[in-house]
Amino acid sequence: MTGNDPVYLRVVEELRAQIVDGTLPPGAPIPSRAQLTQRFRVGETAARHALRVLAAEGLIIGKVGSGHYVREKSVLYPLQRCRYVDHDAPFAADMQAGGHRATWDWRSETIKAMRDVARRLRLEEGDPVTRTRYVFRTEGKPMQLATSYEPADLGRGQSFPEEGTNGRKSLVARMSAVGIKITDIRESVHTRVPQPTESDLLDLPTGVHILHVERTHWSGDRPVETSDIVVPGDRFRLVYSVPLGA
Amino acid sequence: MTGNDPVYLRVVEELRAQIVDGTLPPGAPIPSRAQLTQRFRVGETAARHALRVLAAEGLIIGKVGSGHYVREKSVLYPLQRCRYVDHDAPFAADMQAGGHRATWDWRSETIKAMRDVARRLRLEEGDPVTRTRYVFRTEGKPMQLATSYEPADLGRGQSFPEEGTNGRKSLVARMSAVGIKITDIRESVHTRVPQPTESDLLDLPTGVHILHVERTHWSGDRPVETSDIVVPGDRFRLVYSVPLGA
DNA sequence: GACGACGACTTGGAGTCCCAACTTTACCAA
DNA sequence: TTGGTAAAGTTGGGACTCCAAGTCGTCGTC
């Protein structure tokens, strides 16, 4: 039966249908709360709730004092504003691509490994590791957080600015100086709700999820560096490109 | 000033802090609406809104008739229940790994390419493509949606069941039969709110985002297959493993 | 001890009203 | 024509209320 489901869903479904079939094109104004209550013969709560749901789905945006509007397609499925992974160098990042210049802050320190980091680096909990925290900015806006961990005995004595945005070149160079050759990289990607510090640092509006990448550099079967990379989910695409050797 | 931001945020922030620092452990009951109004001296609207925000963030779940509870960690930061990409075969999927047996439904048909698909396959809008839709299930529960597009002239005459879960082997075999060698794979990962059909098919609770993978198989500079892969963001990790050839 | 009924409590849907802050438009004066 | 202002409309936060449906513990009966 469709007769007894919530009335606000009726509003949501009708508006959503009109948006996806193009009756309400991008940029078009959505009927206001007052108009919806009249048109659908529902209370203000239902109208309001319907608008909130559609906004949460990313189909419309509310402009205070003006109204709700159908979101532009470009915002809905954004193009990659930052190319994250390059073609010639898989898993390297190049934030200059796309015409945007990136800047970043970073700070290194030596700490005791937490359980999670110890597991990922195959160390014991409490072993010393070098932690480097980065905040990457594009056009001044924070765009990516990264926290990198290396076993402290792999001699990142003095911490120096990274060359590539992700410091892969720098890492490879530093490692090869200690006789370690990085053989492969493993990444694990998932999405979750930002923690308060993250939404603070990345200046995230409510409702935006983040992409969390756990990246580990391996030398044979020995992990030599692991990092947590956090980017806003709505503005970012991770791009992987890998040749099929077989 | 923090004095003049919405009161419901005060409630949200305090509860969230208690959840992330463990004062309210997973499974713990959240104060009810009535209790929150008393404790924080706010109206029911604010209390209710705060609970809705926390539920949307995936930190708590509401059980009607019982109360709100802190979500279990396993749901919050799940371990990989399905290994998505294998080590020996990068970008191949093996859903058997992890002790779970996967089943899937699929259906093929020939349609006219929409703009997006045409762009990805370097075709003209309206050119014929073979679309195959999959629903993958683990333990009976839908776990992954995939929609695959191939140019119709690449001769998927009779559509036959895939061997691997993602049909990469099958695809490679089929392509090599037509003299096409797949040279590399490019993937683009982002996260977004599920569309109604998606949350329906995947049986998603509200507030759960999805991971959307656009995967394209290339033969040289010619795209031969592209697919959209949609998985629940809270239960899935994408695992990439690639050797560094250089 | 087992079982069932009942009442207290909780969520989620829905309605109504009020207000501050903001946008848009229309109109009037210089 | 231009500039400024006032009015009307809109969003977002908030308070209060009512109700249906569901959970859960208590208490009395068998």
pLDDT for the residue numbered B122 = 93
The contacts of residue A183 (CB under 8 Å, 6+ apart) are A218, A219, A220, B243, B244
Å from the B240 CA to the C4 C1': 57
Are A184 and A218 spatial neighbours (Cβ–Cβ below 8 Å)? yes
Please choose, from the candidates A193, A186, A177, A179, the residue with its C-alpha nearest in 3D space to the C-alpha of residue A225.
Answer: A186
Are A223 and A216 spatial neighbours (Cβ–Cβ below 8 Å)? yes
C1'-nearest nucleotide to the CA of A4: C13
B2 lies in a domain? no
Domain check: are A118 and A60 in the same one? no
A244 lies in a domain? no
Nearest to A184 among B187, B193, B241 (CB): B241
Coil, helix or strand for A177?
helix
Query: Within 13 Å and on the Cβ side, how many CA atoms surround B112?
Result: 4
C1'-nearest nucleotide to the CA of A33: D10
Domain check: are A173 and A63 in the same one? no
pLDDT for the residue numbered B22 = 85
Domain check: are A155 and A233 in the same one? yes
In which domain, by residue range, is B57 found? 8-70
A246 lies in a domain? no
Are B62 and B26 spatial neighbours (Cβ–Cβ below 8 Å)? no
Rounded to a whole number of angstroms, the distance from the CA of A8 to the nearest CA of chain B is 15
Please choose, from the candidates A183, A198, A196, the residue with its C-alpha nearest in 3D space to the C-alpha of residue A229.
Answer: A198
- Report the CATH number at residue A23: 1.10.10.10
Are B123 and B151 spatial neighbours (Cβ–Cβ below 8 Å)? yes
Q: Judging by beta carbons within 10 Å of its beta carbon (0-12, 13-18, 19+), is residue B154 exposed, middle or buried?
A: middle
Per-residue pLDDT of A152-197, as tens digits, reads: 877 554 444 444 444 556 666 677 777 777 777 777 777 877 776 7
Provide the domain count of chain B: 2
This prediction has a pTM of 0.71
Are A90 and A240 spatial neighbours (Cβ–Cβ below 8 Å)? yes
Nearest to A233 among B16, B209, B236 (CB): B209
Grade residue A83 by pLDDT with cuts at 50, 70 and 90: very low
A135 lies in a domain? yes
The two three-digit tokens of residue B121, written as one number: 């396959």
Strand C, nucleotides < 7 Å from a protein CB: these are 9-17, 21-24
Rounded to a whole number of angstroms, the distance from the CA of A57 to the nearest CA of chain B is 6
Judging contacts by C-beta atoms under 8 Å, the chain A residues touching residue B20 are 195-196
* Residue after which a domain boundary falls, among A42, A70, A98: A70
Nearest to A242 among B78, B90, B196 (CB): B90
The two three-digit tokens of residue A77, written as one number: 């499925």
Judging contacts by C-beta atoms under 8 Å, the chain B residues touching residue A245 are 245
Rounded to a whole number of angstroms, the distance from the CA of B82 to the nearest CA of chain A is 12
Q: For chain A, what is the mean pLDDT?
A: 75
Q: Which residue is nearest to nucleotide C17 (CA to C1')?
A: A44
Give the span between the Cα atoms of A31 and B130, in whole angstroms.
Answer: 39
Domain check: are B106 and B198 in the same one? yes
B246 lies in a domain? no
pLDDT for the residue numbered B181 = 78
- Report the CATH number at residue A225: 3.40.1410.10
- Long-range pairs of B40-44 with CB within 8 A, sequence gap ≥ 24: B40/B7, B40/B10, B40/B11, B40/B14, B42/B7, B42/B8, B42/B10, B42/B11
Please choose, from the candidates B242, B233, B207, the residue with its C-alpha nearest in 3D space to the C-alpha of residue B55.
Answer: B207
Grade residue A103 by pLDDT with cuts at 50, 70 and 90: low
Are A95 and A88 spatial neighbours (Cβ–Cβ below 8 Å)? no
Coil, helix or strand for A175?
helix
Judging contacts by C-beta atoms under 8 Å, the chain B residues touching residue A246 are 89
B244 lies in a domain? no
Strand D, nucleotides < 7 Å from a protein CB: these are 9-17, 21-24
Domain check: are B93 and B56 in the same one? no
Query: B7-20 and B33-40 are packed helices; what angle lies between their axes, rounded to 10 degrees?
Result: 110
Å from the A145 CA to the C1 C1': 61
* Residue after which a domain boundary falls, among B70, B88, B118: B70
Per-residue pLDDT of B152-199, as tens digits, reads: 877 554 444 444 444 556 666 677 667 777 777 777 777 877 777 787
Domain check: are A200 and A231 in the same one? yes
Domain check: are B66 and B148 in the same one? no
Name residues of chain B where pLDDT drops below 50.
1-2, 74-100, 157-166, 246
A126 lies in a domain? yes
CA distances from B7 to A157, B49, B173, B188, B200 (A): 48, 10, 61, 40, 34
Coil, helix or strand for B174?
helix
Give the span between the Cα atoms of A132 and A6, in whole angstroms.
Answer: 50
**Number of neighbours of residue A198 by Cβ within 10 angstroms:** 16
Q: Is the dihedral of CA A174, A155, A147, B245 positive or negative?
A: positive
Rounded to a whole number of angstroms, the distance from the CA of B239 to the nearest CA of chain A is 4
Nearest to B190 among A185, A192, A237 (CB): A237
Domain check: are A116 and A182 in the same one? yes
pLDDT for the residue numbered A212 = 85
Domain check: are A55 and A101 in the same one? no
pLDDT for the residue numbered B85 = 34
Coil, helix or strand for B136?
strand
The two three-digit tokens of residue B77, written as one number: 């930061």
A62 lies in a domain? yes
Please choose, from the candidates B160, B153, B147, B135, the residue with its C-alpha nearest in 3D space to the C-alpha of residue B224.
Answer: B153
Are A187 and A90 spatial neighbours (Cβ–Cβ below 8 Å)? no
Alpha helices in A23-126 (DSSP H): 33-40, 44-56, 73-76, 115-121
Judge: A239–B187 Cβ closer than 8 Å, yes or no.
yes
User: Higher model confidence: residue A104 or residue A51?
Assistant: A51
The two three-digit tokens of residue B161, written as one number: 């069941």
Domain check: are B59 and B83 in the same one? no
Residues with CB under 7 A from strand D: A 30, 32-35, 45, 51-52, 55, 62-68; B 6-9, 37, 42-46, 49, 63-66
- Long-range pairs of A106-111 with CB within 8 A, sequence gap ≥ 24: A106/A132, A106/A133, A106/A134, A106/A135, A106/A159, A106/A161, A106/A162, A107/A132, A107/A133, A108/A132, A108/A156, A108/A159, A110/A152
Per-residue pLDDT of A18-33, as tens digits, reads: 988 889 998 999 999 9
Å from the A66 CA to the C29 C1': 28
Are A115 and A101 spatial neighbours (Cβ–Cβ below 8 Å)? no
CB environment B66-90: b (16+ within 10 A), e (fewer): ebbbbbeeeebebeebbbbbeeeeb
Please choose, from the candidates A230, A147, A142, A219, the residue with its C-alpha nearest in 3D space to the C-alpha of residue A185.
Answer: A219
Most B CBs within 10 Å, among A199, A240, A241, to test the B interface: A240
Domain check: are A47 and A93 in the same one? no
Domain check: are B89 and B191 in the same one? yes
The contacts of residue A136 (CB under 8 Å, 6+ apart) are A95, A102, A103, A104, A142, A143, A144, A145, A146, A165
* Residue after which a domain boundary falls, among B18, B45, B70: B70
